[in-house]
Structure 1
Amino acid sequence: MTKSIKHILIVDDHAVVRGGLRQFLADTDDLEIVAEAETGSDALALIPGSDWDLVLLDMSLPDLNGLEVLRRIKRMRPNLPVLIFSMFSEAEFAIPALDAGASGYLNKDSPPYQILTAIRTVVDGARYVSPSLAEQLLSGVTSNSPKAPHETLSRREMEVLLLLSKGIMLTRIGDSIHVSVKTVSTYRARILQKLGVQSNAELTRYVLEHKLG
């Protein structure tokens, strides 16, 4: 029997997403969002204050990288389930998120029944992987097929690529991932070289064409 959930924290900088999920879960008998946070810092301040049953965490936040927020949450509350709820490509970010301690990874485009399944699965103590990602993992799509240029990027380079594609300035990216502007510039140069492009506009086009973010 699914346990009654009273303490769900949603961390997302889009009010429409937070409001939509709150309304959606209000129609269930066992799920309720009782607190919201727009930034990673706000979320981290809320974690110690209540006995949360679940954190729904976006990967793209205005102050901190979602993976960094996840790591800090798990340091504070190792047993607290965190379900990533993001527009970022699960093919690129699901495994890193699971490795960092997430209990599951869910794309925001998922149908309502899948959202409910993911939340209930994670709260019951199991890990959730979407059917599409499970199929990719089982089919071994990464085994012998040639790598696309973006698949040669490191995890940190991929994070920087997605932030650059959103038009975020180098200083803000540095603050978000806790490195200097010079280091961000180095990452950018490597990304341009690996992808074979020469400008941020081309980076953005690449991200859109490959549906990375």
Structure 2
Amino acid sequence: MIKILLADDHPVIRAAIKMMLKGKFRTVLEASNGVETVQMAREQGPDLIVLDITMPKLDGMEVLSRLKDLEPPCRTLVYTALDPVFYSARCMRSGALGFISKTNDLEELSKAINAVMSGYTYFPRLPSSSVHMDHLQCTEMQLIDKLSDRELTIFQALARGSSNKEIAESMLLSHKTVSTYKTRLIEKLNVKSAVHLRDLAKRNHVI
């Protein structure tokens, strides 16, 4: 029987997945933040981690980066509400073996778990970004896609209205570092101020 770790800060979601997995796995572990996830991965050596990206203390992208260094490595399946257009390829590059959107039902998650545990990958097929978008949105998406994983995480947090202090605390960064990222994002995304970041994020389904 297989040992699985559910990493999500929402207990209701963890409970729903746990119910679905009942009887299929020897042990179902739970983690509610990124630091806890990395620690449990090191100590418990799960066969599979079902990982949300938006978590406190360490976001899922940072967790993926740290899991890469583990020996033996853990299979990781990302299960998140974030848009696969911006995140599925990033997660793949960071070592995840699958990506499932929370807009899908749990049956889809079950299929993904079975595929990953059978040695396959499980990622969504995404439409060509240039077919159904005007030139402005296509250009904006290209700018967003060039952001680093950490820049994208901070961009998303700022767009949701989080303060520099809140972001610093949730990502274990200094206030000054977050402020530097904020300035850099305004420049990279070619907006006039932080106020415009939210509009840009909503227009491109980052939040």
The answer on whether the counterparts of 2:141 and 2:204 sit within 8 Å (CA) in structure 1 is: no
**Equivalent position of 1:21 in the other structure:** 17
Matched residue, 2:6: 10
| 1:149 corresponds to which of 133, 140, 143 | 140
**Compared CA separation, residues 150 and 179, structure 1 to 2 (3 A):** farther
Query: Aligned partners of 1:55, 1:66: CA distance in 2, in Å?
Result: 11
TM-score of the two chains, using structure 1 as the length reference: 0.80
Task: Note the C-alpha offset of 1:24.
Answer: 2.3
Question: Cα 1:74–1:142, aligned 2, differ >3 Å: closer, same or farther?
Answer: farther
Pair 1:81-2:75 in alignment: yes
Amino acid at match of 1:14: H
**Worse-superposed segment, 66-75 or 171-180:** 171-180
* Partner Cα distance (2:43, 2:186) in 1: 43
Letter in 2 for 1:124: S
Q: Match of 1:62?
A: 56
Calculate percent identity across the aligned residue pairs. Answer: 27
Aligned residue among 114, 121, 124 for 1:127: 121
* 2:45–2:74 CA contact under 8 A, matched in 1: no
Q: Distance in 2 between matches of 1:198 and 1:33?
A: 48
- Equivalent position to 1:198, from 193, 199, 202: 193
**Cα deviation, residue 105, structure 1:** 1.1
Give the alignment's TM-score, normalised by structure 2: 0.83
1:25–1:32 Cα contact (<8 Å) kept? no
Pairing 1:72–2:66 present: yes
Aligned to 1:97: 91
Q: Which residue of 2 aligns with 1:185?
A: 179
* 1:47 positional shift: 1.3
- Segments of 5+ residues of structure 2 without an aligned counterpart are none
- Residue 208 of structure 1 deviates from its aligned partner by 2.9
Letter of the aligned partner of 1:83 in structure 2? L
Q: Using the alignment, how far apart are the partners of 2:118 and 2:155 within structure 1?
A: 35
- 1:177 and 1:148 map into 2 onto residues whose CA distance is 29
Query: d(CA) in 2 for partners of 1:195 and 1:110?
Result: 34
1:46-90 CA-to-partner distances (Å, cap 9, x unmatched) read 113324121011111111121111111221145310001111111
Label 1:61 to 1:163 Cα distance change in 2 as closer, same or farther (>3 A): same
Q: Which runs of 4+ in 1 moved over 4 A?
A: 175-179
Deviation by residue 1:158-180 (Cα, 9 ceiling, x = unmatched): 22111112332213423555654
TM-aligned CA deviation for residue 107 of structure 1: 0.8
| 5+ long unaligned stretches in structure 1 | none
CA–CA distance in structure 1, aligned partners of residues 100 and 140 of structure 2:
25
Q: What RMSD in Å do the two structures reach over aligned CA positions?
A: 2.6
